[in-house]
Amino acid sequence: MGKHILITGGTGLVGKPLTQLLLDKGYTVSHLSRKAANIPPVKTFLWDVEKAEIDPNCINDVAIIIHLAGAGIADERWTDARKQEILSSRTKSIELIYSLLRKHPHQVKKIISASATGYYCDRGDELLTEKSPPMVDFLGRCCVAWEQAVDKGEALGLKILKFRTGVVLTDEGGALKQLALPIKFGFGTVLGSGRQWVPWIHLQDVIDMYLFGVENDLTGVYNMVAPNPVTNFKLTVAAATQLNRPLWLPKVPAFALKLAMGEMSAVVLYSTKVSAEKIEAAGFQFKFPTLKEALRQIYA
């Protein structure tokens, strides 16, 4: 397959290191972004999803599109307007790309899209595979609509690959940085019961898995999680141990989190135990299969 890859969301938590990895591997990388950026040798093309505007030149000579764009799930409280923004930023963006592909000659052969383990929602101790059905709350509905929008590319003759991504661990941002900050100052604590499962994955394994998807004939949906899920309690304790900080405060009860965060408390209270068996069976090898290995590298 060709060596030119277009990335949406290319300056984000995953997009930035993924861009560098692809460049290091000899790929040509372009970004599709809301604003111009100076990231040599990456060319940035502009789009405005809400206005349905997109630079048609963005698909020139592109073989694969990696679709990472979308409003942050936990960046703001979930008002009705915010929930609509979270949903439309994922579905309208890929629809805009497909609209362009219908109108212009191109060499695009494959779409690799992010999805999320929010597809499965709150499932207790059930081990969830790619065949497990979605739940019908906001996160589940959002992920289903997201994946369905991406799947429309099949009608254009495109290969479709979707990664249901868990909690990405890195000290550059995201959930771990928010968890570790109070721990570093001696105020860390377990959230809710602590028994809820966290489908985590190290950032390096995330970008390696996208590269694996680029370089192998993978299609369909795969869980993007480490093979050893942990509970919130074990994650918090492991982070405190790695940072050499005490955990002395009582757990934050679920009702308090719901009062503070509203419906968005689902992000930290849901129990989602997700299997990595399918991607491992496809031949992917994790650099950080255990939480201890992941945290040791992150806080080395």
Calpha distance 45→42 (Å, rounded): 10
What's the alpha-carbon Rg for the chain, to the nearest Å?
Answer: 19
Is residue 149 domain-resident?
yes
Q: Are 205 and 21 in contact (CB under 8 A)?
A: no
**Is the preceding omega at residue 253 within 30 degrees of 0, hence cis?**
no
3-state SS class at 113: strand
Segments of the chain assigned E as strands: 4-8, 28-33, 43-48, 53-54, 64-67, 110-116, 127-128, 159-165, 167-169, 197-198, 200-202, 220-224, 230-231, 273-274
Helix%, strand%, coil% for the chain, nearest 5: 40, 20, 40
pLDDT band for 275, please (50, 70, 90 cuts): very high
Q: What is the pLDDT of residues 104-145, one digit of tens each?
A: 999 999 999 999 999 999 999 999 999 999 988 899 999 999
pTM surpassing 0.75?
yes
The yes-or-no verdict on residue 2 having pLDDT over 70 is: no
Calpha distance 202→289 (Å, rounded): 8
What would the mean pLDDT of 12-33 be, rounded to a whole number?
96
Number of other residues whose CB lies within 10 A of the CB of residue 244: 9
Is residue 234 domain-resident?
no
Number of other residues whose CB lies within 10 A of the CB of residue 39: 17
Is residue 181 domain-resident?
no
What was the pLDDT predicted at 183? 84
- Percent of the chain past pLDDT 90, that is, above it, reads 72
Q: Are 125 and 79 in contact (CB under 8 A)?
A: no
**Residue 11, both tokens:** 């300056």
CA angle 203, 206, 210 (to 5 degrees): 145
Q: Are 21 and 46 in contact (CB under 8 A)?
A: no
Q: Are 74 and 44 in contact (CB under 8 A)?
A: no
Is residue 219 domain-resident?
yes
pLDDT band for 272, please (50, 70, 90 cuts): very high
> Domain span at residue 150?
4-166+200-225+275-286
What would the mean pLDDT of 74-99 be, rounded to a whole number?
91
What total of structural domains would you count in the chain? Answer: 1
Is residue 177 domain-resident?
no
Please, which residues have CB within 8 angstroms of residue 195's CB and are 6 or more apart in sequence? 231, 232, 233, 271
Is residue 113 domain-resident?
yes
The yes-or-no verdict on residue 260 having pLDDT over 90 is: no
At residue 131, φ and ψ (nearest 5 deg) are -90, -10
Is residue 172 domain-resident?
no
pLDDT band for 70, please (50, 70, 90 cuts): confident
The yes-or-no verdict on residue 1 having pLDDT over 60 is: no
Calpha distance 201→85 (Å, rounded): 26
CATH number at residue 58: 3.40.50.720
What would the mean pLDDT of 73-82 be, rounded to a whole number?
85
Is residue 241 domain-resident?
no
Q: Which of 118, 255, 247, 121 is nearest to 192 (CA)?
A: 255
